[in-house]
Amino acid sequence: MSRILLKTEDHSRDSAAMRYVYPVISRRAGGVSVGINLNPNNACNWRCIYCQVPDLRRGGPPPIDLALLERELNDFLQQAVAGDFMATRVPAGARRLVDVAFSGNGEPTSAAEFAEAVAIAGRVLAAQQLAGKVLIRLITNGSLLDRIAVQSGIAVLGGCGGEVWFKLDAGTAAGLARINGTRVRPEVAARRLACCAALAPTWVQTCLFRLDDALPAEDEIEAWLALLAPLAPALAGVHLYSLARPSLQAEAPRLGRVEAVWLEQVAQRVRLLGLAAHVSP
C-alpha cells in the first residue's frame, strides 16, 4: 500500500492501490472516510461542472467483482483498525475512522450490484465489530431513486444504521441543467428526495460556488429553499459546502469558492426551515 500522507485536497481513488476501495480525509465527515468506488471507469449519468473526476464521461459502470470488493474492504479495514495506516498515512488531527462511503467516480446506484455491495459493507463492518461505530454512507445524485433495486439497497443501508447524502445543487430546472448537466425537473428531484428520506436518514448536500465570479443568484437560492421547505420534517439536515479541490471539467477556470460568511448566511436561512445546517466553506 502507498505510504503517501492523505490530505483533504486530494481524494485520489488509487491511494490504496485497490480497484474499489480508497481512503480519503473528509472535511464534511470529520475524519477518514473509506470510499467504495463502483464506477472505476469514470462514467456517470450526470456531468457536474465542479466534478474532480479525470476524463469524466457519460455512462454507467462495468460489472462489479463483488468478491474482490469484499476482500479489499476487509483487508483495508484491518489495516485501518489494527495496522499502521492511521499512524503513517493520516495527519494527527484526522485519525478517526468515520464511515464507509459509496461515492467514487460516478453515480454509485447505477451499478446493478449496488444493493449487494451495501450488504457486503454491512457484513464486513459487523465481522470486524465496527457496526454501529462506523457509518455506511451513500453519496448520490438521487437520479435513480425510481428503481426498485436502488430503493432496496438504500433500505438495506438504512437498516444497517447508515445514511444518505443526496445531492441537490439548485432549485430550478435551469440551475440543475447548468450545474449538474441533467434535465431533471425540480419536482421530480423533490419526489425522489422524499422517497430516499423514507428509506434511510437523508441529508441534502449542496455545493455553492462562484460562476464567472458571480455568486448564486437570489432567485436560485429562493427556489432551492422553497423545494426544501415542505420536505424539512423528513430530512436529517443540509450539508452546505464550497469548492475544496479544483474541478477537472472544462468549466474549471470559471469556478471559484464562495466566502464562508456568505455560506453561513445561506445556512441561517436553512435553519429557519427547521433543518440542521452544517457548513464547510
Length of the chain: 281
| Cell numbers at 82, concatenated | 489494527
Is 21-280 in CATH node 3.20.20.70? Answer: yes
| Cell numbers at 170, concatenated | 439548485
Tens of pLDDT along the chain (281 residues) come to 455 555 554 445 555 689 999 998 877 667 889 999 999 999 999 999 999 999 999 999 999 999 999 999 999 999 888 878 878 888 877 788 899 999 989 999 999 999 999 999 999 999 999 999 999 999 999 999 999 999 999 999 999 999 999 999 999 999 999 999 999 999 999 999 999 999 999 999 999 999 999 999 999 999 999 999 999 999 999 999 999 889 999 999 999 999 999 999 999 999 999 999 999 88
For the chain, the structural domain boundaries read: 21-280
Asked if residues 9 and 245 have their Cβ atoms less than 8 Å apart, the reply is: yes
Measured CA to CA, the distance from residue 222 to residue 237 in angstroms comes to 17
Measured CA to CA, the distance from residue 69 to residue 65 in angstroms comes to 6
pTM of the full predicted structure? Answer: 0.91
